[in-house]
């Protein structure tokens, strides 16, 4: 609902997707619910995680070790986005070890006024409003925030983070409402996506990776 406006996302309303794009885990959930077909196609992969800090990097954070050293307040996905949250923790533990990861997350800011539980919105707001000193999320998201708000944010790469890149898949909805349009869009999309996504800080996929089926069952 948006105020007094209610959007009915159903087949009956016609406001219903013909394709779904996302990581393998959420696509698998949709397959189990019978929403999408059992096979998706990979079209992009991210570059793992990075850190976002305020413009000027006032605490001099250049690594995960600096987050712990400075006692920085850290922002990340909350319990609403459990998969992203657990993925963050697992990646950091793999990179620096459990004890160091505990120090990185020691001053996590879990709540702030107006929190929605949406990483794309919450993490940059926490940094911009001073609720947190550093944010941890996907590299391409931070790259977007830095390009859009260059006077507010800076990106700090995490060495080795590319080891935790996630593939993103194109899933077809079962019995789509607009099958011809869906097929036409898929053809157009796969003719362009491999070259477009790397321009916005996604990793470039090889010929062997691009368009390859991703089993969801």
The residue-averaged pLDDT of 123-148 equals 97
Could you read off the pLDDT of 74-98 as tens digits, one per residue? 999 998 888 889 999 999 999 999 9
Bridge partners, residue 75, by sequence: 135
Does the pLDDT value for residue 184 go beyond 80?
yes
Which of 128, 76, 150, 144 is closest to 106 using CA atoms?
76
CA distance 23 to 42: 9
pLDDT at 92: 97
The answer for residues whose C-beta is within 8 angstroms of residue 215's C-beta and 6 or more apart is 38, 39
Which of 146, 170, 171 is closest to 156 using CA atoms?
146
Which of 27, 46, 26 is closest to 36 using CA atoms?
27
Predicted TM-score (pTM) of this structure: 0.88
Could you read off the pLDDT of 103-121 as tens digits, one per residue? 999 999 999 998 888 899 9
Could you read off the pLDDT of 154-172 as tens digits, one per residue? 999 999 999 999 899 999 9
């Amino acid at each position: 609902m948006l105020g007094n406006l209610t959007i009915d996302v159903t087949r009956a309303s016609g406001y219903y997707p013909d394709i779904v794009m996302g990581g393998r885990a959420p696509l698998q959930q949709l397959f189990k619910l019978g929403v999408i077909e059992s096979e998706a196609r990979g079209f992009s992969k991210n570059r793992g995680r990075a850190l976002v800090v305020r413009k000027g990097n006032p605490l001099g954070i250049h690594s995960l070790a600096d987050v712990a050293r400075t006692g920085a307040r850290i922002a990340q996905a909350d319990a609403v986005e459990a998969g992203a949250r657990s993925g963050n923790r697992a990646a950091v533990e793999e990179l620096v070890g459990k004890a160091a990861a505990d120090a990185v997350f020691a001053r996590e800011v879990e709540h702030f006024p107006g929190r929605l539980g949406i990483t794309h919105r919450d993490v940059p707001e926490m940094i911009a409003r001073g609720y947190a000193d550093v944010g941890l999320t996907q590299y391409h998201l931070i790259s977007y925030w830095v390009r859009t708000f260059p006077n507010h944010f800076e990106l700090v790469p995490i060495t080795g983070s590319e080891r935790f890149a996630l593939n993103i898949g194109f899933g077809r909805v079962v019995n789509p409402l607009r099958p011809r349009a869906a097929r036409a869009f898929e053809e157009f999309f796969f003719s362009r996506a491999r070259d477009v996504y790397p321009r916005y800080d996604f990793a470039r996929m090889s010929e062997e990776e691009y368009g390859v089926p991703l089993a969801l069952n």
